[in-house]
Copies of this chain bind each other. A is one copy, B any other.
């Protein structure tokens, strides 16, 4: 039985019990949310991992993207990046490999990952069609479904499917004259196939078949935003919102057929449009969990897009987004290395936590209370232990030890917290 089938029968699955305990939400509340689709539980029914739940009233989750490109193929590096991502707190990872033996890489990541793993199956379908048949246009419905089935059997926990890039959406995109037409790789593969074949998006046309596979393995469908803006000036335009409407309709269809769904969102979005983007997604998609890719609140900071994404992610999360896809400092410049993965995960974790405080997620503010309790007492050992990255905090502290050990070199004897304590007991 899928999680949705359990919920529809008002039964609590073992996965729900685990999540309920971990998130501090009563099982019956969680079950109701799974039933109405505002919460999903990520875990392929064949996979032996702890499930991860995403959605209403739960802690905001962070995903880290991994994967090779044709320019960089190194399975060991990807496994190192996987370990780094998990070490610093990624709740899920996605294998977005497009270079080398992507089947082998995916299986290595699945074997080594203790967290749910997502993929974008159209990558494999396109790459195989190109290598076997010579061009993308010769890819068939069967090619796509067989990749979905293969990846499902491998144990993939969630699939991004760009099922909202329809011919209708593409014609609206042409009329719009965006600065950057499309930046979604999966979305562009499908657009190219559709334009060359003059046919409808196969993920849209054969959505029922996609849902059947998702149900069989209880894979969460992440409805991809092929139209996500890649430039601030393109944000929240007609193609983007048209696609969102279609995703809302498909989300309802998937749930009806016992497959769990989440919705992917932008992208490059100015600060003043973030709240509306979250609100409209929640309304149009009947409160399906929202998985945002950033958002990036400026285009001009390559090298620092983890910070740009943390600003957008914290705001989106506070307004109700449920799942943040990390952005690394290497975004727009190169494939990320291990350090980029670390920086990206930590920046997103900060954003998710700051959002959780605003969303009143149980236990979130308690961490800050604990840290500040130790800070007021200038208990450095405990402060470092409570830090999001104790290694960096300890390195900073050790690099500049004060003469008096209960303060730091910033204020030294003039530590405000130390002075005022003399008068406030």
Residue numbers of A with Cβ under 8 A of B are 69-72, 98-99, 123, 173-174, 179-185, 187-189, 191-192, 195, 230-234, 268, 270-272, 297-304, 306-308, 310-311, 314-315, 318, 329-336, 346-347, 350-351, 353-355, 357-358, 365, 367-369, 371-373, 375-376, 383-384, 386-389, 392-393, 395-397, 399-400, 402-403, 408-414, 416-417, 419-424
Contact = CB atoms under 8 A, between A and B. Distances in A.
A353 B181 CA distance: 24
8 contacts: A69-B410, A180-B372, A182-B417, A192-B420, A272-B357, A303-B393, A304-B388, A311-B315
Contacts of A397: 333-334
B419 A298 contact: no
A414 B69 contact: yes
A301 B414 CA distance: 23
Copies in the complex: 2
A353 B304 contact: no
A322 to B, nearest CB: 16
A420 B354 contact: no
A369 B233 contact: yes
A333 to B, nearest CB: 4
Nearest to A305: B350
A321 to B, nearest CB: 13
Contact of A409 (B69, B297, B331, B357): B69
Contact of A315 (B315, B330, B388, B395): B315
A306 B306 CA distance: 12
A191 to B, nearest CB: 7
Q: Which 9 A-B pairs have the closest CB atoms?
A: A231-B372, A334-B400, A303-B392, A272-B358, A70-B412, A271-B358, A297-B354, A299-B368, A188-B416
A240 to B, nearest CB: 15
Contacts of A192: 419-420, 422-423
B420 A182 contact: yes
Contacts of A184: 416
Q: By CB atoms of chain B within 10 A, which of A98, A180, A233 has the most?
A: A180
A294 to B, nearest CB: 12
Contacts of A350: 298, 301, 304, 307-308, 311
Contacts of A384: 302
A287 B234 CA distance: 33
Contacts of A389: 301, 303-304
Contacts of A173: 424
Contact of A372 (B187, B232, B399, B420): B232
A372 B304 CA distance: 16
Given A271-B318, A314-B297, A396 B232 contact: no
Contacts of A306: 307
A39 to B, nearest CB: 22
B180 A299 contact: no
A271 B191 contact: no
Q: By CB atoms of chain B within 10 A, which of A71, A72, A330, A403 has the most?
A: A71
A85 to B, nearest CB: 16
B369 A329 contact: no
Contact of A386 (B270, B300, B402, B416): B300
A68 to B, nearest CB: 9
